[in-house]
Amino acid sequence: MTTRRDVLQTAGRVAALLVAAGVLPEAARAQAAAPWPAAAFETKSVADLMKALGSAAPVESKEITVQGPDIAENGAVVPLGAATTLTGVKRILLLVEKNPNILSAIFELGDAVEPSISTRVKMGQSSNVFAIAMTNDGRVLYAAKEVKVTLGGCGG
């Protein structure tokens, strides 16, 4: 019986081997240096997530916006993004409150990237979505909005 954690650890080892063998490109080497934070991706609440990441609790702020539709025609693909007017943002997190695991994605921003990111996530049901921004000077801020997921088509 292979557990998910085993698979992940194996993946990490494979990546390390590939890097050692010079098979992985340079960009992937940088990633391999920062391991995939399995514990953070298994949390069910904002509080547990912040604990897993060793971060302070986030404070709601108008300086950050979470971008998503009011209604999603299909939960399989829901556009989700974050943008902020803050400076010195090093990290942006995208969360879906009612998903089996709350964390969808972490973005580590270099100085050359604007703090504005869009991707698409899966949502099992209508839920609040969050964008959390972490700055170099230790601020942790968030914005939230509700996305309604509708049943569509003939439903069969």
Partner 1 sequence: MADPMRIRAQSSGSGATVRVLMAHEMETGLRKDAAGKTIPAWFIQQVSASLNGKPVLSAQWGPSVAKNPFLQFNIKGAKAGDKVAITWLDNKGDTRTDEATVS
Partner 2 sequence: MSAWRREGLRVALALALAGVSATAAAQGKSAADGIAEYRKMLEDGNPADLFEAKGESLWTTKRGPKNASLEACDLGKGPGVVKGAFVELPRWFADTQRVQDLESRLLTCMETLQGLKAAEIAATPFGRGEQANMEALAAYVSAASRGQRMNLPQAHLQEKVMYEVGKRAFYFRGGPMDFACATCHGEPGKRVRLQDLPDLTKNPGDGIGFAAWPAYRVSSGELWSMQRRLNDCYRQQRFPYPGYASDVTIALGVYMGVNAKGAESIAPAIKR
Partner 3 sequence: MKHKTPALAATVIVVAALLAAGCGSMPSSEQLDQQALAVIKGSFRAQGIATMDRLHQDQGQAACSSAQAPSEAIARQIQDNALASVKWPAGGQYLGDWREGEKLAQNGRGMTWTDAAGSANGGSCYNCHQIGKAELSYGTIGPSLYNYGKLRGVADPASPTSAAIVQYTWGKLWNSKAYAACSNMPRFGHAGLLTEAQIRDVMALLLDPKSPVNQ
Which residues of this chain interact with partner 1, rule CB under 8 A? 2, 4, 7-8, 10-11, 14-15, 18, 24-28, 30-32, 34, 36-37, 41, 76-78, 81, 96, 99-101, 103-110, 112-114, 116-123
Q: Please list every residue from 63 through 92 that binds partner 3, using CB under 8 A.
A: 71
Task: Count residues binding partner 3 (CB under 8 A).
Answer: 9
Is position 73 an interface residue for partner 2 (rule: CB under 8 A)? yes
Residue type at 141 in one-letter notation: L
Contact assessment for residue 133 and residue 82, using Cβ atoms and an 8 Å cutoff:
yes
d(CA 56, CA 13): 31
Residue 79 interacting with partner 2 (CB under 8 A):
yes
For residue 143, list its beta bridge partners: 131
Q: With binding defined as CB under 8 A, does residue 152 bind partner 3?
A: yes
125 binds partner 2 (CB under 8 A): no
The CA-atom distances, in angstroms, between 40 and each of 53, 116, 138, 147 are 6, 22, 19, 23
